[in-house]
Structure 1
Amino acid sequence: MFTLYPILSTFISSFYKSDLSTIEPIFIGFDNYAIMMKDEVFRKAFINNIWFTIGTVPTSVLLGLLLAILVNRTFVGKVMSRVFFFYPVVIPMVAVSFIWLFFYTPDYGMINSILKLIGFEELNLLGNSGTALLSIIIMVIWKEAGFFMIFYLAALQNIPKDLIEAARIDGASKWRQFRSVIFPLLMPTTLFSIIIATTNAFKTVDQLVVMTQGGPNNASNLLLYYIYENTFRFMDYGRAATVTVIVLMIMVSIAAIQFFAADKKIHYS
């Protein structure tokens, strides 16, 4: 009811023209898909989403792994460090967007205040086509790294100590222990994290609504925000359904490729 029916309904709607110029939806076949392929804004949002995925997925997953390794050791303040790294995850994305909007704001924003203090010129990070998407990427990495840290931390604590001890007795260095023993046993967690991070990269919309509205000149526009605009701003439900189907196909394809390509190389025990 809540998954299959909406998917089927959206798929059917993608074959209809349903906007403010039509009283009743009109069946137009694959015309919506043909229009999408020619739409410059769609192509821009699609390319942006690819770069956004490349920028956020490997970095946030790797940073999560490094943080997990760091807080898995015994040291004073270990619990507080875990809380500190995980805290961004529990903050709502809208609140995070307003926090980082303050960081990026020209004139009185924290970043520009620091730049002025040390004698550099101000930067309009969200108002520049070359830095808007990168600014969003940095914010998302900051928020998601702690999420993946928790999964890696749980996986690290479940690795049998005798395996690491055996490698140490055999003369393996710390790096060799990690490369040959620890990391292979973390591969299920890595695959899970990559899939989650990839799907999250195609579900980005809250921060765009708050921070850039896809601008400037669609430099930070992503596919889900493009769907949001067509649905609620332009009231073009047929086009929005078409892009939704395309995004769904992309996400399913990526997940399938990751499962079938990587699953054979993963040790589950």
Structure 2
Amino acid sequence: MSEHATLERRRQAIYGWLLLSPALVLLSAFAFYPSIATLWTSLFSRGTRRKPVEYVGLENYTDLFADPTFWLVVKNNLIYAGVTIPVSMGIALAMALWANGKIRARGFVRTAYFTPTVLPMIAAANLWLFFYTPGLGVLDQIGSLFGLPSVNWLGQPETALWAIIIVTIWKEAGFFMIFYLAALQTIPEDLKEAADIEGASRWTYTRRIVLPLLMPTTVFIAVNALINSVKLIDHLFILTKGGPSDASKLLLYYIWEMAFAFFDAPSAAAMTIMVIVVLAIVAAIKFSYLDKRTHYQ
């Protein structure tokens, strides 16, 4: 290899690293280093004045697995994710199909669907307090018209988590609708015309053409919805604070509670690492399996 070719190759390598450096710096500062520091913290005990910090290995993880509250929180999060993800995605798809059609006041319909998304999380939670407040809330006021008793939606274990789920679906469905609506507008019109010529019904066209073409968007939304399902904390601060009796407590709120209320940073770090591992497994499945079975134009 000539000296000129070597210099050109080196120059291209330097140019490539310069292009990558901004993203690399940001990822190192806000992703790689915090993850490594969290893993390191999870391997040590909680220090006190009488008992200094010491290396305990995987003891924090084994303690979490033996903690019944941890498993209750995991169960709550699984229920929360198992309901909010498919329901919000289904509603978002239905709204997008409706808003993409030739209907009157289409712009107003799209705006109405998207409005909950632009509300701050704290504002949305305070808004729903007017629905859930016993005796004074909108739900109880409507129920009283039919002679139904007052219900403390946020104050009893049977309904607290479901009340949070409803708020999340209301908040996220409009956000996911935007992605579906953008994807629908990329589908060529000649596909609909060809389906009409062949005599395909609207349901057949949607099932055999629209839904397969929306699969990349569906996978993207599903991954984002899964991430959202493990990072909810704002609504819990306002609505339930994880109660009653931990019935509505989710993972991120429990991590915050362990770190800043109980001052047990190693246990919080151990839970954080487990969440990262689960999300990494989901990402690996997405890139290695779902992407291969997804139709991309």
TM range (shorter): over 0.9
Amino acid at match of 1:86: F
Matched with 1:68 is 96
Distance 2:44 2:52 in 1: 10
Structure 2 counterpart of 1:210, from 238, 258, 270:
238
Structure 2 counterpart of 1:114, from 142, 153, 174:
142
Distance 1:152 1:197 in 2: 14
TM-score between the two structures when normalised by the length of structure 1: 0.97
Matched with 2:5 is none
Same amino acid, percent of matched pairs: 43
Matched with 2:260 is 232
Does 2:168 align with 1:140? Answer: yes
How far 1:251 moved relative to its partner?
1.6
Amino acid at match of 1:110: V
Structure 1 stretches lacking a partner, 5+ long: none
User: Which structure has more RCO (C-alpha within 8 Å, separation ≥ 6)?
Assistant: 1
Distance 1:105 1:123 in 2: 9
Matched with 1:10 is 38
Does 2:202 align with 1:174? Answer: yes
Does 2:111 align with 1:102? Answer: no
Structure 2 counterpart of 1:241, from 255, 261, 269:
269
Matched with 1:91 is 119
How far 1:170 moved relative to its partner?
1.3
Structure 2 counterpart of 1:222, from 242, 250, 265:
250
Aligned 8 A contact 1:148 1:193 in 2: yes
C-alpha RMSD of matched pairs (Å): 1.2
Amino acid at match of 1:244: T
Structure 2 stretches lacking a partner, 5+ long: 1-28
TM-score between the two structures when normalised by the length of structure 2: 0.88
How far 1:146 moved relative to its partner?
0.4
How far 1:24 moved relative to its partner?
4.3
How far 1:265 moved relative to its partner?
2.1
How far 1:128 moved relative to its partner?
1.2
Equivalent pairs, count: 269
Matched with 1:32 is 60
Does 2:106 align with 1:78? Answer: yes
Distance 1:96 1:120 in 2: 26
How far 1:21 moved relative to its partner?
5.5
Amino acid at match of 2:269: A
Matched with 2:152 is 124
Amino acid at match of 2:242: G
Q: Deviations over 1:7-64 (max 9, x none)?
A: 1100110001125466643211000000000011111001110000001000001110
Does 2:194 align with 1:155? Answer: no
1:120 to 1:111, Cα distance in 2 relative to 1, 3 A: same
SS at match of 1:215: coil
Q: Which has the larger radius of gyration?
A: 2
